[in-house]
């Protein structure tokens, strides 16, 4: 036994350096992890051949904005009037722009460190607070909503300033965006204490300033273009979120008792309408395809494509709220004319935006096919307003006719 013990002790001593080496490796890995906690951002446009997808932080960010959209949809569907439509549009623009701002930052700069993750978490919490303030903002009490939005924009300005601090070649662009956003935030915050007329004027000025900033110094922005596939993928994901809200409205909206069969017909029509729009967006006009920014012409088309998503978002949510509102009514009873006008114009505007998105394609097909596509989408838009000329349109006709137009649009695209 003594010999066995000495033998084991001998091999333990021989194995000891290996254990020490493993411990050194563990210490080195821990040191590298600590260094990776806070790293400077790097320029993503240097990786031109990299095919990028959304990270989990971006998708989680979308979930919070889905809650914001849901809050707007529920409130708008129960207050389906002209005044509420205008309020809804005023609230929608900063919500959409807050999402776009963070998306563009992540498209240009690579930030996988813990510092940036914490900044995203702060924005997620602020976006959640903004979602809670949607009902108050739509009722005319927007002070807390404005503060939450301003806080999100300040975090974004901080991210751009941080990127410019570390990346010298991007400093002119990032600091221009940072200071522009700070000026807009100052206008938003000052508007809280102003009388109503000045309040509206200052908020309009602030949001116009934010929307115009990306057009300043276009050649500088061409030198640091956004990723050709990342931004279209992110915009298409946000569009899917909006379509999902429309589907949710068609499935879960409450309705009058004893009208199940009629509500089922309206709900099925709403689902088919959502499907036909999604097909037109992805396969019909290929709005989620790559968007290059290699020259000023392509940059202008890219901005047209981007800003067309704002009215498209407005029409989609308006249509979703309209379907939810119609499902709460008797399915074959006449609808008030204003409600009919809102639903019809939202459906027509949705297909008209699809037509304009087709125009912004860089590599378009032959002129003959382009003319057919224009004619087809314009005919769809015109067909969606047919209920306005009916004597007493009911909810089923209001949803069924745009649904029929969508089916005809798919059939026309497949045949051509």
Same domain, 392 and 259: yes
Q: Which of 210, 225, 240 is the last residue of a domain?
A: 225
Amino acid 254: pLDDT: 64
Say whether both 234 and 196 belong to one domain. no
Using CA atoms, how far apart are residues 392 and 247, in angstroms rounded to an integer? 26
192 shares its domain with 317: no
Contacts of 63 (CB under 8 A, 6+ apart): none
Q: Name which of 398, 406, 346, 351 is nearest 73 in CA terms.
A: 346
Domain boundary at 174, 204, 225, which?
A: 225
The whole domain housing 71 covers: 51-225
Domain presence at residue 303: yes
Q: 356 pLDDT exceeds 70? A: yes
Is pLDDT larger for residue 136 or for residue 215?
136
Q: Are residues 250 and 317 in the same domain?
A: yes
Between 83 and 255, where is the model more confident? Answer: 83
Three-state secondary structure along the chain? CHHHHHHHHHHHHHHHHHHHHHHHHHHHHHHHHHHHHCCCCEEHHHCCCCCCCCCHHHHHHHHHHHHHHHHHHHHHHHCCCHHHHHHHHHHHHHHHHHHHHHHHHHHHEECCCHHHHHHHHHHHHHHHHHHHCHHHHHCCCCHHHHHHHHHHHHHHHHHHHHHHHHCHHHHHHHHHHHHHHHHHHHHHHHHHCCCHHHHHHHHHHHHHHHHHHHHCCHHHHHHCCCCCCHHHHHHHHHHHHHHHHHHHHHHHCCCCCCCHHHHHHHHHHHHHHHHHHHHHHHHHCCCCCCCCCCCHHHHHHHHHHHHHHHHHHHHHHHHHHHHHHHHCCCCCCCCCHHHHHHHHHHHHHHHHHHHHHHHCCCCCCCHHHHHHHHHHHHHHHHHHCHHHHCCCCCHHHHHHHHHHHHHHHHHHHHHC
Q: Are residues 248 and 220 in the same domain?
A: no
pLDDT digits (tens, 9 = 90+) for 11-49: 444 444 443 334 444 444 444 445 456 677 777 764 555
Q: Are both 163 and 300 inside the same structural domain? A: no
* Position with higher pLDDT, 252 vs 192: 192
Quick: pLDDT tens for 246-288: 777 667 766 555 555 667 788 888 888 889 888 988 887 888 8
Is residue 113 included in any domain, yes or no? yes
Q: Which of 5-14, 71-80, 213-222, 236-245 has the lowest mean pLDDT?
A: 5-14
Task: Tell me the mean pLDDT in the region 369-389.
Answer: 80
pLDDT value of position 416: 62
Instruction: Determine the pLDDT at residue 348.
Output: 92
Banded model confidence at residue 100, pLDDT cuts 50, 70, 90? very high
Distance of alpha carbon 254 from alpha carbon 326, whole angstroms: 10
Secondary structure of residue 110 in the 3-state scheme: strand
* Residue pair 133/148 in contact by the 8 Å Cβ criterion: yes
Residue 326: per-residue pLDDT: 83
Tell whether 221 and 306 lie within a shared domain: no
Whether 276 and 398 map to the same domain: the answer is: yes
User: Is 41 within a domain?
Assistant: no
In this structure, is residue 100 part of a structural domain? yes
DSSP annotation of 134: H
34 lies in some domain: no
pLDDT, tens digit, 9 for 90 and up, residues 291-326: 877 788 888 888 889 999 999 999 998 888 888 888
The per-residue pLDDT for 253 is: 65
Q: Tell me, yes or no, whether 372 and 276 share the same domain.
A: yes
Count of domains forming the chain: 2
Following CA atoms 177, 182, 186, 189 in sequence, which dihedral angle do they give, to the nearest 10 degrees?
100
Q: 94 in a domain, yes or no? A: yes
pLDDT given for residue 9 in this prediction:
43
> What pLDDT, in 10s, does the model give residues 120-158?
889 999 998 988 888 888 888 888 999 999 999 999 999
- Tell me which of 384 and 40 has the higher pLDDT: 384
Distances (CA, A) of 121 to 30, 42, 61, 255: 24, 20, 9, 38
**269 and 183 in a common domain:** no
- Asked whether residue 398 is domain-assigned, the answer is yes
Give, to the nearest 10 degrees, the angle between helix 143-166 and helix 171-192.
160
Label residue 182 by pLDDT band (50, 70, 90).
very high
CA 391, 393, 398, 403 torsion: positive or negative? negative
Say how many Å lie between the first and final Cα of the chain, rounded: 90
Q: Do 101 and 153 share a domain, yes or no?
A: yes
From 195, 225, 255, give the residue that closes a domain: 225
Beta-strand relationship, 109-110 and 42-43: antiparallel
Same-domain status, 118 and 265: no
Q: Is residue 12 part of a domain?
A: no
Weakest-pLDDT range from 248-252, 351-355, 367-371? 367-371
User: Which pLDDT score is estimated for 26?
Assistant: 41
């Amino acid at each position: 036994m003594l010999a066995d013990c000495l033998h084991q002790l001998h091999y333990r001593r021989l194995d000891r350096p290996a254990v020490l080496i493993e411990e050194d490796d563990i210490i080195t890995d821990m040191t590298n992890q600590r260094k990776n906690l806070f790293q400077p951002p790097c320029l993503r446009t240097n990786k031109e051949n990299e095919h990028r997808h959304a990270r989990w932080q971006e998708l989680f960010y979308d979930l919070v904005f889905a809650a914001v959209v849901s809050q707007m949809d529920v409130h708008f569907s129960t207050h389906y009037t002209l005044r509420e439509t205008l309020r809804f549009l005023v609230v929608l623009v900063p919500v959409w722009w807050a999402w776009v701002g963070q998306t563009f930052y992540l498209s240009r700069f690579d930030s996988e460190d813990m510092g940036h993750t914490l900044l995203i978490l702060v924005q997620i919490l602020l976006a959640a607070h903004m979602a809670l303030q949607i009902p108050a903002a739509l009722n005319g009490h927007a002070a807390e909503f404005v503060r939450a939005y301003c806080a999100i924009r300040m975090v974004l300005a901080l991210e751009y300033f941080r990127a410019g601090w570390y990346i010298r070649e991007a400093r002119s662009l990032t600091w221009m965006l940072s200071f522009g956003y700070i000026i807009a935030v100052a206008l938003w915050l000052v508007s809280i204490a102003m009388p109503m007329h000045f309040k509206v004027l200052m908020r309009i000025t602030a949001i116009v300033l934010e929307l115009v900033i990306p057009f300043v110094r276009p050649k500088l922005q061409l030198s640091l273009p956004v990723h050709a596939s990342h931004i279209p993928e992110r915009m298409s994901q946000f569009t899917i979120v909006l379509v999902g809200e429309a589907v949710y409205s068609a499935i879960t909206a409450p309705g009058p008792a004893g009208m199940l069969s009629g509500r089922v017909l309206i709900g099925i029509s709403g689902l088919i309408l959502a499907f036909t729009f999604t097909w037109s967006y992805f396969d019909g006009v290929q709005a989620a395809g790559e968007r290059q920014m290699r020259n000023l012409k392509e940059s202008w088309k890219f901005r047209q494509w981007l800003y067309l998503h704002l009215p498209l978002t407005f029409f989609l949510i308006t249509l979703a709220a309209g379907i939810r509102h119609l499902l709460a009514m008797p399915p074959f009873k006449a609808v008030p004319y204003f409600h009919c006008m809102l639903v019809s114009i939202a459906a027509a505007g949705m297909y008209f935006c699809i037509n304009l998105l087709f125009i912004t394609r860089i590599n378009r097909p032959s002129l003959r096919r382009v003319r057919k596509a224009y004619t087809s989408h314009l005919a769809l838009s015109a067909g969606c307003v047919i209920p306005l000329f009916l004597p007493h349109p009911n909810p089923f006709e209001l949803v069924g006719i745009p649904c029929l137009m969508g089916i005809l649009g798919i059939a026309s695209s497949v045949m051509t």
